[in-house]
Structure 1
């Protein structure tokens, strides 16, 4: 990864315009504008990120932060046999699951209800204090969502990037839950630790890095200034998002627009709040708690944020897990290769339902 790309993502995923302006690549703006107006975009009419849930609710985290939750019932109106909870990643929100929330409720064997929520400080959820902007707290938030929306029946947890880390944190905190209720887990484009060892260079994730620390201090002291500078580089940030979030295949401009919108809605202050916890994340030992579950580990082979080697490490700790390498996909594989990813998730759900049924028979 080129140095300016590293700075753009790690020193401000969303501060791309701040960093990019200093690097001086605005000359590409005309070409970028052309890319954004593709008349043949197959997703131009998809209404990305605008699907309506069957139910909105707010769940209070244990520190009082309100978490915005959505629920989607089986499309045919039948009784759901299990609940699938989708947990999004860093600097995103629940809209990143557009295709999975659209397609998983269509399953009839088994029928599923889908629960999505915005992580603290992301999307429509409440803002967290910096001390509570940790992966440990995200695990507790997931627990709160489960207690409020999935009180009974088998559960499948699907986590992308930081969402996968939240699932690992919950497994560390409540291993019994993964023996009794969580029958399957999907870990997409995520890591069990050493995020900075490959992909994001470690110095940029360190709280001691002067650029990262300086950006955080500036965002805390002059948030309006940072956001104004960031917005000034709109075309540039779109290009950086396209480059870092997706692989080498042709990507729908509408998909990049959605990604850019989600990132743009997350302030630089929030991004820097979570950098320390991402850099110190180490939950390889917590993976042992997933050995009672069906596990899918999936990542794109062109992921620049958490390269496929991170998925191989996770699968190495879980020898019975299914490891999937998605060709030519970047960090946002569930958008970029949504048909394939949803197909693997549907197969996981079917295995989970079969496991839950077998365990119920064995206990009766």
Structure 2
């Protein structure tokens, strides 16, 4: 990391007073700030590898725990993806008040960026305020249509699964304490079926064991109230046709070919709506692409940051060998 680089813990105050935990790494005078939003049941540490690399190359990197996750407070209910978009606006305002900004979002974090784009198009390039957001990475995410219930074109198996999951998370949402006690009696994130199931549904078959265990620990550490409470928000998320603000900035879309949660078809739909966006499908990877193959996510972030910084400094970011 460069001598001018610093790391600091920050606190962002959301519109309802909820306190969101954030961390900044990299030079305080960097020409670009990269803001990273994580996915459902995870926390800011999901971006550890990318933050470490890019901060060491001269980018200021801000990552934060979404509300109800990690060290962030949950705030007022009901929760929605639109609320997360407003949280992201606060994160930008309070941690990167000036300069160029690049956004990266994984899964629910990508949906967060879409919500921000729909609600605050002026923040993006070409907007009335000069468009401070200069690039966007969307990885393993969707603009909507995740709920199979009521969709006649969805296979019966998926519709039934959707009803079962909705009932399960609904029960957990109204019984968070007993649900936590039940989970505490089950095998932890490093034994029994836990890592097997995490790998099966979130990773590719050749994913490193340490990556799988890291994901399992994050999921296991997420409070049940957040696990259950955010599920209906994910199912209700629908920003298809509302992403016009993203047409004015470089967008990269990255997805694992074996993603079960947000399959490749969702990334293709994003690119259909944003024809200028670049799509990369990584073979053999699942939903947790950012930890399974960190470099596949770091590289497009690097490109976006270099492009955003080009006008401010002819050589703003050093590529590490």
> TM-score normalized by structure 2?
0.86
2:293 alignment counterpart = 337
Give the 3 Å change call, closer, same or farther, for CA 207–130 of structure 1 in structure 2.
farther
Q: Which residue does the alignment assign to 2:142?
A: 191
Of the candidates 207, 210, 216, which is equivalent to residue 167 of structure 2?
210
Matched, 1:118 2:71: no
Equivalent-residue separation in structure 1 for 2:159 and 2:134 (angstroms): 34
1:115 counterpart SS class: strand
1:146 alignment partner, SS class: helix
8 A contact 2:88–2:116 mirrored in 1: yes
Comparing 231-240 and 204-213, the one that deviates more: 204-213
* Structure-to-structure mapping, 1:115-264, within 5 angstroms: 115-131=62-78, 133-179=79-125, 180-197=131-148, 201=158, 204-205=161-162, 209-219=166-176, 222-231=178-187, 234-249=191-206, 251-264=207-220
| Cα root mean square deviation, aligned | 2.5
DSSP 3-state at the match of 2:171: helix
In the alignment, the residues of structure 1 paired with residue 76 and residue 184 of structure 2 have an alpha-carbon distance, to the nearest angstrom, of: 23
Stretches of structure 1 lacking an aligned partner (at least 5 in a row): 1-51, 359-364
1:63-119 CA-partner distances (Å, limit 9, x unpaired): 111100100014xx8x41110001000000011111101101122xxx310001000
| Partner residue, 2:151 | none
Give me the whole-angstrom Cα distance separating, in 2, the residues matched to 1:327 and 1:143.
33
Aligned residues: 298
Provide the residue aligned with 1:328 in structure 2. Answer: 284
Give the Cα separation in 1 of the matches to 2:176 and 2:162: 17
How far does residue 285 in structure 1 lie from its aligned partner after superposition?
2.3
Q: Work out the CA distance in 1 between the residues paired with 2:307 and 2:161.
A: 40
Q: Report deviation, 1:332.
A: 1.0
Give the 3 Å change call, closer, same or farther, for CA 318–232 of structure 1 in structure 2. Answer: closer
Shift of 1:177: 0.6
Q: For structure 2, which runs of at least 5 residues remain unmatched after alignment?
A: 126-130, 149-153, 315-321
Counterpart position of 2:14: 61
Distance of aligned partners of 1:205 and 1:355 in 2 relative to their CA distance in 1, 3 Å threshold: farther
Q: Is the 8 A contact 1:296 1:323 kept in 2?
A: yes
Which of 276, 294, 314 is matched with 2:232 structurally? 276
Contact 1:245 1:304 survives alignment (8 Å)? yes
Residue aligning to 2:36 = 86
**Other structure's SS at 1:259 match:** helix
Q: Is the 8 A contact 1:206 1:212 kept in 2?
A: no
Change (3 A) 1:68 1:243: same
In 2 relative to 1, CA 206–352 (structure 1 residues): closer, same or farther, beyond 3 Å? farther
Conserved 8 A contact 1:212-1:272 = yes
Q: What is the deviation of 1:212?
A: 3.3
